Structure 1
């Protein structure tokens, strides 16, 4: 019997003695003052049964007190960290360890752990090797469903756990992506030299100069054109039969020399040789390439300059490959930049995926008549995706991504929490479609679930949901020590994340921004820059720490 039971038993004995002693003392006083000596002897004889009754009452009260003490067990599910530390200190004093029965709770001690580093388990009570605190005991609970986690309402409130209900309705997805403005390749004109000559005068001086259709660009002196023009003019001055065929042949020679119909018409009208030709802009736009200067010698076929139109332009949106399948060519996209908005059709989905970013380009064409969007500018592109009718959906923050599958924590009728494997679909306005695993109106955990997830991992619930691993896989996964922290995503790369994390006392790390390598099993398709996450990682002998699990947090949960 421990100290607590002993104190309760002694108290019960005192109470029982008082309850039985007062009537007996009163009766003895009455006989002493109200009866004679003869009756006193009879009273003494009659007192023997009363004494026996008092002893029986005392024993009964003692038994009831011991029974009440044995039934008044503490419920460890109501404990906070402070109560858990106090229990560990008591276990040290009483010599208890994992596998023993705690007399205060009446439950078996499974192991001890640090709540801040839940992945490590210890057989003996003591101080945490990670934090400046005591380890906390974890108890077995044979009266509860082994597939659930029980957390008291008080602790739920302290942890800020919030709930949601599985809903049903239509989901219209909208895909938002980052895009950039690009030149419309179909509105590009490249001017080439059609004959050998010299640039005598250049009217444009630099690249990115604006030009209008018909504006003079440069003047060329073309010696090869003089002879063919003189032959043609000679035929024009001649009179006689059969000259039409000769004049047509002369025109053809001028075309072969590089003269266009407009220039030939000018020679015919003026009856003068054009030794110099003025080249004019075929379209309005911007000079994107200028390859000649005044006095330059040009050769036939040489590109002289390039003009690109500013209306229309292309918007090339980088769409994650997992969402690209939802896009439809011809739908209207909305382009936004600095308060400016424009719309245009999705012209095509380019048949190539960027190997580094795992994105596919969607090409949108906008009119851009006022030239508010210029090539190279970054914009936000919103495009309609697919529509799912009568879909089940939950808040996206309620879905836990383990790398292998998706989980949702369901609240049972007994106010416990059960991890359920779900199959997810599209995402819209902070909601994720549930294809299988949940029913309408089920109550689920919306925020704070990563704390329950850690508890479920400790109890082995999540492990029972995963398929069996090979021995080599288990050895590889269990060997490294796991650490966890919360962080903000600064950049997403193909094989790593750049994170801003808070202090990690277990490693003595201050808050900093650094790269974390991604395990192949970690799914990052639903993550974006700026998201806050809870992650578990392991240290490697070489290279950056490796992330093994990720959970996206909402804004109400702890920040790093």
Structure 2
């Protein structure tokens, strides 16, 4: 049975590749018998009891649909002719025997009205929340002494000592403040205290100077928030100035996820929408967040919309630069027609489903899909509530349906009348493989269903090629049908001159 599945799949791809009926005649026969419950080579006596349940109209040549027979027979390659049943073309779609449908594992679901929550899948990476970054600077030049924060990523607590600074300007300001303490002039003392604060001394350090009445040669610099050291630009003993970025402390209680959304999904994303972030690294857990900001322009390289999502980060699970997958949820839509996501077949620009009809018939129908969620898809056109759609094995059925349509296109539109001439245009290539034949390359011949090709054609008795018709020259020719598969050239037209036997 697995071999029959494989044959069906290979045939579907072969048909999509544009192979002609002649090149895949054998495969068409295999595929036909596969879907109708018979093996090739069993259209004779072994299959007679099964076939007797359905009326056979005639048998068709597996390579040439024009050639038929009233009785079972084999073609020149030993392949069985394909039986054409009386009920083979009743109604649209295809018919599959119940036992074959069961073997294929065909399952169906009913299209019904319901509620769907639009969701946009996006990927991106974790980044620091820039509103939670604290930069550390000095307000007067000096030298770094006693550096306590020494490495990137180091965990920092609010009030923790970062480093000590020796600055002559700070020493002078402290001495001035101590002198004002001996004066009975509160306004001058307060002005001196404010000057120390403006130079970057913490309230704690100023209180210690006032209490101890001593100048501190090394002024401590403390952290103003919890976080991790994300930037560090100094080392022990370095000379620093007010313009230098000394270090940055990043708080990771909340983080951003910067994601990219496809351009056609941009209208579905709004600030404030609920989002979920999937933690593949933590066994598939999820975190809830919101759309915090949508950038006003697309990425010029990827043509994608960039959005910024905000997430709480309990336990520091999310690390900056971590790859992540998110889902952005829109407003729920109510009373819309829904089918399972797996029922929708997408190929190129078309969307279709397989409808389950009564009496084991299946039909591929075009639909127009709307909102797609994780497990459901909204159908805007093509289906009605209560329609039954196939949700498994639909690709095999769709391949057979496409194959049946292709075989129908191969059927002749009308047989030429006896003695009727069919004119076409081509290029003369020279004599053929037999003395009475010519080789030519002709244009498509719609009356016969022939594509453009190069071939040998027999000349009618008494018809000869004029000497002025040289290889590579264009000309017109008339064909006459002798039997279902044999044609000959009965007239030529070269430079307006018609030549007959």
- Partner of 1:386: helix, strand, or coil? coil
Partners of 2:227 and 2:407 in 1: how far apart?
62
Partners of 1:95 and 1:339 in 2: how far apart?
55
Match of 1:99? 66
Match of 2:292? 348
Matched, 1:228 2:151: no
Shift in Å, 1:323: 5.6
- The question of whether the paired residues in 2 share the 8 Å contact of 1:291 and 1:304 is answered with yes
**Greater displacement, 225-234 / 304-313:** 225-234
Deviations 1:84-127 (CA, angstroms, capped at 9, x unpaired):
8989xxx99x9984311132379xx9xxxxxxxxxxxxxx8649
* Residue among 154, 158, 169 paired with 1:213: 158
* Residue among 314, 327, 331 paired with 2:256: 314
Shift in Å, 1:392: 1.6
- The question of whether the paired residues in 1 share the 8 Å contact of 2:122 and 2:326 is answered with yes
* Residue among 21, 31, 36 paired with 1:78: 36
Equivalence map 1:43-122=2 (5 Å):
78=36, 80-83=38-41, 97-104=64-71
Equivalence map 1:225-374=2 (5 Å):
225-238=170-183, 250=192, 254=196, 257-259=199-201, 263-264=205-206, 266-316=208-258, 325-326=267-268, 329-330=271-272, 332-335=274-277, 337=279, 338-339=282-283, 341=285, 343-351=287-295, 356=302, 358=304, 360-361=306-307, 363-368=309-314, 370-374=315-319
- Partner of 1:202: helix, strand, or coil? coil
- The question of whether the paired residues in 1 share the 8 Å contact of 2:270 and 2:291 is answered with no
- The question of whether the paired residues in 2 share the 8 Å contact of 1:344 and 1:367 is answered with no
Shift in Å, 1:163: 2.8
Give ranges in structure 2 of 5+ residues lacking alignment: 1-31, 46-57, 410-450, 453-501
Residues 427 and 284 (structure 1 numbering): CA distance in 2 closer, same or farther, change over 3 Å? same
Give ranges in structure 1 of 5+ residues lacking alignment: 1-74, 110-123, 128-133, 465-477, 480-560
- Partner of 2:178: helix, strand, or coil? helix
- The question of whether the paired residues in 1 share the 8 Å contact of 2:121 and 2:326 is answered with yes
Matched, 1:426 2:426: no
Shift in Å, 1:202: 1.0
Shift in Å, 1:265: 5.0
Shift in Å, 1:198: 0.6
Equivalence map 1:399-478=2 (5 Å):
399-413=344-358, 415-460=360-405
- The question of whether the paired residues in 1 share the 8 Å contact of 2:272 and 2:291 is answered with yes
- Partner of 1:375: helix, strand, or coil? coil
Matched, 1:194 2:139: yes
- Partner of 1:303: helix, strand, or coil? coil
Deviations 1:307-334 (CA, angstroms, capped at 9, x unpaired):
1112133345666666665556445545
- The question of whether the paired residues in 2 share the 8 Å contact of 1:80 and 1:155 is answered with no
Query: Which has the larger Rg?
Result: 1
Partners of 2:84 and 2:215 in 1: how far apart?
106
Structure having the larger proportion of residues in helix: 1
- Partner of 1:195: helix, strand, or coil? coil
Partners of 2:172 and 2:88 in 1: how far apart?
109
* Residue among 111, 124, 134 paired with 1:166: 111
Residues 401 and 233 (structure 1 numbering): CA distance in 2 closer, same or farther, change over 3 Å? same
Partners of 1:409 and 1:82 in 2: how far apart?
27
Partners of 2:235 and 2:335 in 1: how far apart?
67
Residues 381 and 463 (structure 1 numbering): CA distance in 2 closer, same or farther, change over 3 Å? farther
Partners of 1:277 and 1:172 in 2: how far apart?
58
Q: How many residues align?
A: 362
Partners of 2:98 and 2:158 in 1: how far apart?
75
Partners of 1:85 and 1:304 in 2: how far apart?
87
- The question of whether the paired residues in 2 share the 8 Å contact of 1:201 and 1:294 is answered with yes
Partners of 1:405 and 1:181 in 2: how far apart?
36
Partners of 1:356 and 1:95 in 2: how far apart?
50
- The question of whether the paired residues in 2 share the 8 Å contact of 1:199 and 1:221 is answered with yes
**Greater displacement, 299-308 / 244-253:** 244-253
Deviations 1:436-470 (CA, angstroms, capped at 9, x unpaired):
11112222222222223223333447999xxxxxx
Shift in Å, 1:366: 1.0
Flag the structure with more relative contact order, 1 or 2, with Cα contacts below 8 A and sequence separation at least 6: 2
- Partner of 1:224: helix, strand, or coil? helix
